[in-house]
Copies of this chain bind each other. A is one copy, B any other.
Amino acid sequence: MRSNWVQTVRLEPPSLNDNTADTERLLSSLKTRLNSDHIHIDISLQRTLPDILRQHHYHVSCVLFKDRNRWLLAGVAGAEKNDPMAGLAVDLGTTSVAVRLIDLVSGDVMGEYSFDNPQIDVGPDILTRIHYADQKGGLEHLNRQIIDGLNQAISILCRKCDIRPIHIYLSAVAGNTAMTHLFLKLSPRWIIREPYIPVVNYPGAISAEDLGMNINQHAKVFMFPNVGSYFGGDLIAGILFSGLARKEETAILVDVGTNAEVVLGNNKWLIACAGAAGPALEGGVTKMGMMAGPGVIDSIVISGPDKRFDIHTIDDQPPKGICGSGLIDLASQLFLHGIIDIRGKFKVSDGISRIKFKNKDDMMHLIVVPADESATGEDLTISQADIDSLARSKAAMYTILETITTSVGIDMRQISDFFVAGTFGVFIKPKSAVSIGMMPDLPSENFKPLGNSSLGGATMILQSQECADQISDIRDKITYMELNVNQEFMNRFSAAKFFPHTDRSLFPSVKI
């Protein structure tokens, strides 16, 4: 994909008959090229123009970015210089931040890198950080952490790709609303307080220098807009990346985390909804729960008459915990093999030899990996409370899906593209999610894992102006549906807490 952010122009050199100023000379050529009257050149960039234009005989390559209707010049270099012109895509995750370098001329990916969000020091969850930001100097500290972390990552990635940070002229950053606020040093205080008001929804393109980013001094940083406090730029990036808003056929995009975020729509309309799904799917609650990583159980198959657990861990390391998708797999297998009932309760009395329970803290625990096989030297167990928590999470997810599809009169079992964002989407087995009634009963091939769709969307912005043009469209097309937790919702939720659901006809493929 050839990027169109770089324009190479050859200007007529000035003469006594044409003594237009340097800035206006360049602008005039770019205006014709871009067919736009709205092109802006910062005064700091204007300061460099006389030398660059003359040194390169008025033959220069310009990096431009289109911020809604306005073009911004982000850099100028001699057309025959072979210095790279790069863009930096950033997925500003609460837990992990991923960066990717794009060659702005070819559109090729040059390399990528990821690091833990340094704000984890303040608090692993965003809520702790939002409260911390309210303290004196708190916002500045959190902002410094993420900017410093990003600058360090830029330096590492540039070395890896053999370019210098000044060769980065554009950046596109996608994060949730709170992370976007912390990144822009905007107070997130009112995001979490009724009526949940962000400082800004559409920050647009900002000067890298104003943000403290160590890239080219004149570089522009595009921030993905958010729809509201609970629907951030990361999801807009995901919508872009999935192609949801360009398809004739109605599709669904879900992002599963502490919040379950759902977008339903097509090239005519988009409807979005988000609701608390609880932390069960993020590995935040179960004692053995953790983020996907080496040694983490991502898949479990129960087989044979003695109900043997075949466990798979990431990188085949000794098991030390379980991630969200592993937990769904486990629950699904427990249910399909009758170890939990339709209420999600352990059937301890069945007394199947291979299944070991233990009672601890007055609660039943199922031993998933015995101490002598685990990496920790302790039993890896899952408790009744863990299963109950998962049941609530999966019910919340399904209820949100049901609510949003019902609101527009669409049967979710007719959806052909069901996009699942994030690492979760990559690891989850659709069949397992269907078995426990978390996702609708669609054929496995209808579920499309997106991987890091925030980073993917940010990458697309840097590769193509057409993609950037879509952002305002997507943003403005979205109708955000507030989840009204009324009696109808509660009834749906109660029904969805069962495995897979009280209405078995919704899940014909689930046979037990």
Chain A interface residues (CB < 8 Å from chain B): 14-16, 18-24, 38, 43-44, 46-47, 49-51, 69, 184-187, 189-190, 194-203, 206, 210-211, 228-229, 482
Structural contact, A200 and B22, CB atoms closer than 8 A: yes
- Chain B residues with CB under 8 Å of A38's CB are 69
Structural contact, B198 and A21, CB atoms closer than 8 A: yes
- Chain B residues with CB under 8 Å of A190's CB are 22, 50
Structural contact, B186 and A47, CB atoms closer than 8 A: yes
With both beta carbons as reference points, the residue of chain B lying nearest to A16 in the complex is identified as: B195
- Chain B residues with CB under 8 Å of A19's CB are 195-197, 228-229
- Chain B residues with CB under 8 Å of A206's CB are 43
- Chain B residues with CB under 8 Å of A195's CB are 14-16, 18-19
With both beta carbons as reference points, the residue of chain B lying nearest to A190 in the complex is identified as: B50
Other contacts beyond A20-B201, A21-B201: 16, CB < 8 A:
A14-B195, A14-B197, A16-B195, A19-B228, A19-B229, A21-B228, A23-B199, A23-B200, A24-B202, A43-B186, A43-B211, A44-B210, A46-B186, A46-B199, A47-B186, A51-B187
Structural contact, A199 and B47, CB atoms closer than 8 A: yes
CA distance A200 to B21 in the complex (A): 5
CA distance A198 to B195 in the complex (A): 52
Indicate the member of A23, A200, A203 with the most B CB atoms within 10 Å.
A200
Structural contact, B194 and A22, CB atoms closer than 8 A: no
**Minimum distance in angstroms from A65 CB to a CB of chain B:** 15
Structural contact, B199 and A49, CB atoms closer than 8 A: yes
CA distance A345 to B370 in the complex (A): 118
Indicate the member of A51, A210, A482 with the most B CB atoms within 10 Å.
A210
- Chain B residues with CB under 8 Å of A229's CB are 19
Indicate the member of A18, A20, A22 with the most B CB atoms within 10 Å.
A22
**Minimum distance in angstroms from A125 CB to a CB of chain B:** 22
Structural contact, A24 and B201, CB atoms closer than 8 A: yes
CA distance A482 to B14 in the complex (A): 15
- Chain B residues with CB under 8 Å of A43's CB are 184, 186, 203, 206, 210-211
- Chain B residues with CB under 8 Å of A47's CB are 184-187, 199
CA distance A196 to B22 in the complex (A): 11
Structural contact, A46 and B200, CB atoms closer than 8 A: yes
CA distance A189 to B51 in the complex (A): 10
